[in-house]
Amino acid sequence: MRKAKRQLVAVLLVLLMSALALPVNAQDGEPVIQPQPCEEPGQLTMWVWDEAWAEIIGASIDQWAAEYCPGAEVDLQVQPWGQYWDLLQTNAAGGDLPDVFNMSQPFFYFYASNDVLLDLQPYWDQYGVDTTVWGSGMVDPYRWGEAGDLYAAPVNWDTIAIFYNKDMFDAAGLEYPSAGWTWDDFAAAAEALTNADEDIYGAEVYLEFQAGYPNWIAATGTTPVVEAGRARCTLADEGSIEALTFLQNLYQQGYMPSVSIVGSTSPDDAFNLFASGRIAMVAGGSWKLPVAFEEVPFNWDVVQLPAHPETGLSRSILHAVGYVASSRTENPDLAANLILFLASDEGQRYFAEAGGVAPANPSPALQQLWIDSFGDSDVNIQAFVDATVDSQGVTAFDEIWDAINSEIVVQIFDLDVPVEEAVASTCEFIETQLPEQQQ
Amino acid sequence: MASSRLNFLGPTPLSRRRALWGMALIAPNTLGLLFFFGIPVLIAFWTSFQQWNALKPPVYIGLENFERLVDDQMFHTALTNTLKLLGLTVPLEIVLAMGVAVLLNQPLAGRSLLRTAYFLPVVTSTVAASIVWTGAFQQRYGILSSLLEPVGLGDYKWLVDPGLVLIPIAAVTVWQRLGFDMVIFLAGLQSIPGVLYEAATIDGANRWQRFRHVTLPMLSPTTFLVMVLAVINSFQIFDQVYVMTLRTVPGGVGGSATTLAYYLYRRAFTDSEFGYASAIALVLFVIILSVTVVQLAGQRMWVYYEAEKG
């Protein structure tokens, strides 16, 4: 009896000490998301598609199992991207899904609408997590049902900004762009930096969904491609047409290369042309930072996307990978507890420290840790972080992906199809793919 | 007593044992074929009458998938493209392969080397070859575009222009099939008895006449075989489309590069409509089967078999 009491006192002391120690660790105040101990340890399986992520997440899981859920075991498996979705689908069909797995925004709809995913909202409520702490683009695409329940915890974020060649700006006698620059400033710079005789283009910003034209549509205040709730195609809306026309003009003036010149609809190829000095300004994701630091041989910097002159908006398309749980898991409480930890400041620290992948947790300390992981540099990495706040998630999904990711791009920026005509045919196709009855 | 049950294998114990041996030897292959080909084909047949997205249990919907095919614009486009590719590849492939085989049947210096060179594309992976060709066909910077520039053909958008995209796909297909056809033709050419050419020469036939009246008829069974294989192959064109349009617009702008095989792949693995995709596969199977049957029936009109006359 006495022994038990002494043990209890010891435990309380340890708890008290660790509570006192916490503020010292989290220097920038309270953690944004606080992990909780699990109620009952058990076994979970988890799938991720990336080896490097598996290492980071594995370290994070070890901490969870050691400090918050002693006795829990997680079988973490890597299913490479090339087969990830096929395997997930066949396993879902066989009723044999992993308990916890990574999800991508364009795929979420398919799994959510087939009732495969666990609703995490009750757990967010139980744990007292305010789901609006995450930037809108990170979580909105993972909401489902009438009440907008959040089914996923975002792992990371990717945003878009403009990489520009400082040497080319110097040579043209232009000032470097700064946050708050507008479409007009951008167009003027693209014109001034273009040198047709030497095959040098001022810019390349329209390619593909995430890095491309949807950012410009979002800046007009229009939701790109399809409305939230997937009820309607928005490409024929005024804002979409304005953005696409603006971009098509720049292309037709010769300030931006065609898809055929770039060789593909992939912004990676546009980035390669930027790195080889053939394009002065390129829209690129935060995931390009490691490549840029390593391979770009000239002086460069990053600036946020130019703002629409009237709305004043600069909205980046953001994609966040999510952690989701299977609706058929035998351990929903445990799965949710693990996800909570992985999304917490403590769990996300591993991503911030590893560099490369930006942690979704908005804690300023974590974001700074991520920026610092690139070492000392003058590059304005903060531009990517700033873009997360009022960001636009991925609205496109499987069936319409190619139509809006590449087909409309080639029509407008290679085959010179008039914008009105291209959006009409694309919308016509999209409408056939939208679900008839809404969630 | 056990042996009486095995009587169907042969009249004597020895013949029965031999038959068993034979069956044992072909068993691994047959079982493999059955499990990895026969059974899936039967399942696909059944799936074509279902609606199935691989997540929810399949629902039997009768002939609905096939009715949908009738009105599916993209299916019609894919069928047209497949037939266009057949027209673009098969005649060219046969003529070129026969020409190359006849040339390489002559006593040329470096003949073996040339034969190997022509055969190399056959053993090259289609995917790798298609990637290289995609680069070659790129507007302005592609090697082909550079080569064609002096004749004013340098600035074509081969891989995105809906009116042109089938040409690079046909080109890769012909380039890759040529060596295989050539080898079959070479074998056919070498089985033509030299005495026929001697007789023709004595009768005063010139080079063209010998080709027209000896080589062509004697080679017709080979030509027939090559043609049947080439037609079937052209119905199955997939990799080239997949790889050569992947980086721009998968399947081509407006489906301009979409073939039947590619379309069914997209339906199954992008849109998760396995029932519908199986229906397309079944239709494709019926088309190939009927075209082949027509070809077999038509061979009497132009294929010359020595044995018939002999």
CATH code, domain with B135: 1.10.3720.10
**Residue A1: pLDDT above 60?**
no
Provide the 3-class DSSP secondary structure of residue A177: coil
Residues of B in contact with A407 (CB under 8 A): 249, 253-254
Give backbone dihedrals phi and psi of A164, rounded to 5 degrees, phi first. Answer: -130, 155
Residues of chain B in contact with residue A90, where contact means CB-CB under 8 angstroms, are 54
Do the Cβ atoms of A334 and A326 come closer than 8 Å?
A: no
Q: How many CB atoms lie within 10 A of CB B289?
A: 11
The count of domains in chain B is 2
- Which of B244, B247, B262 is the best mutation test for A, with the most CBs of A within 10 A? B247
B138 contacts in chain A (CB < 8 Å): 260, 263
Q: Quick one: B24 and B109 in the same domain?
A: no
The reply to whether B91 and B209 lie within a common domain is yes
Residues B23, B112, single domain; the answer is no
pLDDT at residue number A357? 86
Q: Are residues B24 and B161 in the same domain?
A: no
SS3 A170: helix
pLDDT tens figures, B3-37: 567 778 888 888 888 989 999 999 999 999 999 99
pLDDT in the model for residue B4: 65
Q: Is residue B296 part of a domain?
A: yes
Give the 3-state secondary structure of residue A392.
strand
Mean pLDDT in residue range A130-143: 92
**Residues of chain B found within 8 Å of residue A89, distances taken between Cβ atoms:** 54-55, 272
Considering the domain architecture, whether residues B127 and B10 belong to the same structural domain is answered as: no
Query: Could you report the per-residue pLDDT of B191-221, keeping only the tens digit for each?
Result: 999 999 999 999 999 999 999 999 999 999 9
Amino acid present at B292: T
Clarify whether residues B32 and B107 are in a common domain.
Answer: no
Cα-only R_g, chain A: 23
Residue B167: inside a domain, yes or no? Answer: yes
Contact B159 A260 (CB under 8 A): yes
Q: Do B152 and B12 share a structural domain? A: no
| Residue B141 touches partner A, C-beta closer than 8 Å | yes
CB contact under 8 A, A89 and B272: yes
> Does residue B33 lie within any of the structural domains?
yes
Contact A415 B157 (CB under 8 A): yes
Cα distances (Å, whole numbers) of residue B122 to A159, B116, B130: 44, 10, 13
Interface touch B160/A410, C-beta < 8 Å: yes
Closest C-alpha among B276, B262, B180 to residue B225? B180
- Average pLDDT of chain B to the nearest whole number: 91
Q: Are A190 and A418 in contact (CB under 8 A)?
A: no
Q: Chain B: nearest CA to A310, how far in angstroms?
A: 33
Q: Do A259 and B254 touch (CB under 8 A)?
A: no
Return the residue in A259, A260, A417, A426 with the most chain B beta carbons within 10 A, the one to mutate for interface testing: A260
Residue A284's φ and ψ, nearest 5 degrees, are: -140, 155
- Count interface pairs A-B at CB distance under 8 A: 69
Is B250–A406 a contact, with Cβ atoms under 8 angstroms apart?
yes
Mutate to test the interface with B, among A107, A268, A410, A413 (most CBs of B within 10 A): A410
Token code pair at residue A373: 């992981």
Domain membership flag for residue B52:
no
Residues B28 and B112 in one domain: no
Q: How distant is the Cα of B102 from the closest Cα of chain A, in angstroms?
A: 39
Whether B62 is covered by a domain: the verdict is no
According to DSSP, the residues that pair with B300 across neighbouring strands are none
As a whole number, the mean pLDDT across chain A is: 90
**B120 plus B178 within the same structural domain:** yes
pLDDT tens digits for range A35-62: 999 999 999 999 999 998 999 999 999 9
Q: What is the pLDDT of residues A101-124, one digit of tens each?
A: 999 998 998 899 889 999 999 999
Place of tokens 């930072």: A289
Domain edges within chain A: 35-157+319-372, 160-317+397-433
Q: Residue A161: helix, strand or coil by DSSP? A: strand
CB pair distance less than 8 Å for A402 and B160: no
Do residue B122 and residue B195 come from a single domain?
Answer: yes
Q: Which domain holds residue B142?
A: 68-309
Q: Contact, A303 vs A215, CB < 8 A?
A: no
CB pair distance less than 8 Å for A261 and B140 = yes
Q: Which residues of A touch B131 (CB under 8 A)?
A: none
Nearest C-alpha of chain A: how many angstroms from B145?
Answer: 12
Largest CA distance in chain A: 90
A160-317+397-433 folds as D-Maltodextrin-Binding Protein; domain 2 (3.40.190)
C-beta of residue A282 within 8 angstroms of C-beta of residue A205:
yes
Q: Is residue B131 part of a domain?
A: yes
Q: Which fold has domain A35-157+319-372?
A: D-Maltodextrin-Binding Protein; domain 2 (3.40.190)
Nearest CB to B247 within list A116, A258, A266: A266
Q: Residue B231 in contact with residue B291, Cβ under 8 Å?
A: yes
